């Protein structure tokens, strides 16, 4: 029995959900600011930093799908912070809003004890956008930022591909 399924650990899971909700509110503010001006790429870095906190907490309680989903969001945030293309940045902001919405639903599922993960959600449009972004990110390299629990694993295109695959996207 995992931590998520252990009734004696329910309080810890609820606390994770409540703290994640606060971080999701912070992410929403960042996204709203980006919506006003998508060229503020420093906000994409902030998005990556905040979602990294949710990722770490999720992994610590065994919410691995949420952790991997956050890792994907972090990768998108950091990759996109390396571009200056306003049209691409507008799409990125839209994808990050979608990510935020899906993450809210995933955390709500855990809090209510009905964790069906991404399988229970309509993710087709999100996956289409991710695949489009994936193609746009192929030439953006950022080796200075480690983004996974394994600090030797650097942010590269195959990492994004692996994350999407592990989520079934």
Q: Token pair 């695959």 is at which residue?
A: 165
18 vs 111: which has the higher pLDDT: 18
Identify the pLDDT of residue 97: 93
> 135-166, pLDDT tens digit by residue?
777 766 654 444 444 444 444 555 656 666 66
- CATH number for 93: 1.20.120.160
The total domain count for the chain is 1
Given a cut of 90, whether residue 57 has pLDDT beyond it is yes
The model's pLDDT over 37-47, given as tens digits with 9 standing for 90+, comes to 999 989 999 99
Please give the Cα distance from 35 to 155 (Å, whole number).
Answer: 25
In a domain, 120, yes or no: yes
In order of 83, 89, 90, 114, 143, the CA distances from 27 in angstroms are 20, 16, 16, 24, 24
In a domain, 31, yes or no: yes
Residues with Cβ within 8 Å of residue 71, at least 6 apart in sequence: 55, 147, 148, 163
Calculate the alpha carbon distances from 51 to 4, 7, 76, 86, 138 in Å: 20, 27, 11, 23, 22
Q: Domain for residue 36, yes or no?
A: yes
Residue 1 within any structural domain of the chain: no
Higher pLDDT, 142 or 16: 16
Tens-place pLDDT, residues 27-39:
999 999 999 999 9
- Asked whether residue 63 is assigned to any structural domain, the reply reads yes
pLDDT, tens only, 84-135 = 889 889 989 999 998 899 899 889 988 888 766 666 666 667 777 777 777 7
Of the candidate ranges 7-21, 66-80, 120-134, the one whose mean pLDDT is the lowest? 120-134
Cα–Cα distance, 147 to 12 (Å, whole number):
25
For residue 137, the enclosing domain spans 7-166
User: How many other CB atoms are found less than 10 A from the CB of residue 3?
Assistant: 15
The pLDDT value given to residue 12: 92
Q: Is residue 77 part of a domain?
A: yes
Q: Is 2 inside a domain boundary?
A: no
The predicted pLDDT at position 5 comes to 74
pLDDT at 158: 56
Q: Is residue 80 part of a domain?
A: yes
């Amino acid at each position: 029995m995992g931590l998520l399924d252990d009734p004696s650990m329910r309080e810890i899971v609820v606390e994770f959900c409540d703290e994640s909700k606060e971080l999701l509110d912070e992410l929403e503010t960042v996204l709203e600011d980006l919506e006003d001006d998508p060229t503020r790429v420093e906000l994409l870095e902030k998005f990556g930093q905040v979602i990294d906190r949710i990722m770490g907490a999720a992994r610590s309680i065994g919410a691995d799908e949420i952790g991997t989903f956050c890792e994907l969001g972090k990768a998108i945030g950091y990759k996109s912070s390396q571009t200056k293309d306003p049209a691409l940045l507008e799409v990125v902001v839209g994808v990050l809003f979608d990510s935020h919405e899906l993450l809210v639903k995933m955390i709500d599922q855990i809090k209510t004890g009905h964790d069906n993960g991404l399988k229970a959600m309509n993710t087709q449009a999100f996956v289409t956008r991710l695949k489009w972004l994936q193609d746009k990110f192929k030439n953006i390299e950022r080796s200075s930022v480690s983004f996974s629990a394994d600090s030797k694993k650097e942010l590269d295109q195959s990492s994004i591909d692996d994350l999407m695959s592990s989520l079934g996207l």
